[in-house]
Structure 1
């Protein structure tokens, strides 16, 4: 049995919403470029697992998270999904403007905070 270790590092040569992920497993290092997608207008009951399940039909999902209010713990109605760079455009095309659990969602590339003014 072997354990895989993962670390991430920002690559300044890539766009701001991309990062290079290094995975160490069984003595091998594998580099993978990851893009972060914004998912908006989510139903309040949406969990990260729901996003992973829906998005995994269209490409490789690295992680998913639903953003919650710090004080109440309730969903804020949006989240982020990290996907393999090679699958990002197909996922956006397939899911942007589609219905997800009764609501029409927005899916696009996430923008860094400093660009969102």
Structure 2
């Protein structure tokens, strides 16, 4: 579950429990213990929050395939390349949405490959034109990135 889904569930649970508390006082059922009322409200709020999350999914959490973008693997890059150079490399094919340079966890040095996100049609054109081309004396490997569970 994403953090935003958790927040939606938590807010819905608290709102339902607070509204329930006031509703019980208006109806005149003050004999219900406040902690029982709050627990019931949290349960109902979690149910309503789950429905809220299911009916109104977070647009940020949508997969790149749903949003019309593709993730491109770019390998065999020079070790001194930066995001700006990669952006310039892909710019002729369209707008670059995101660039993620992969670095070694220990040394924090660039590993020689990156992921570039572009609109689907533009990404396919970039893959077709840039794969197996020479860049700074290195033959680039450019293809659609595999999802982590496919590796």
Q: How would you bin the TM-score normalised by the shorter chain?
A: 0.7 to 0.9
The 5 A counterparts of 1:1-117 are: 8-11=60-63, 18-20=65-67, 33-116=68-151
List structure 1 segments (4+ residues) > 4 angstroms apart after TM superposition.
none
- Identify the structure with bigger relative contact order (alpha carbons < 8 Å, sequence gap 6+): 1
More helix, by proportion: 2
When normalised by structure 2's length, the TM-score is 0.57
Structure 2: distance between partners of 1:8 and 1:61: 17
CA apart distance, 1:19? 4.3
Q: How much is the aligned-residue C-alpha RMSD, in angstroms?
A: 1.5
Structure 2, unaligned runs of 5 or more: 1-58
- Higher Rg: 2
Describe the SS at the equivalent of 1:49: helix
Structure 1 segments unaligned to the other structure (5+ residues): 1-6, 12-16, 21-32
TM-score (normalised: structure 1): 0.73
Tell me the SS of whatever aligns to 2:60: strand
Q: How many residues align?
A: 93
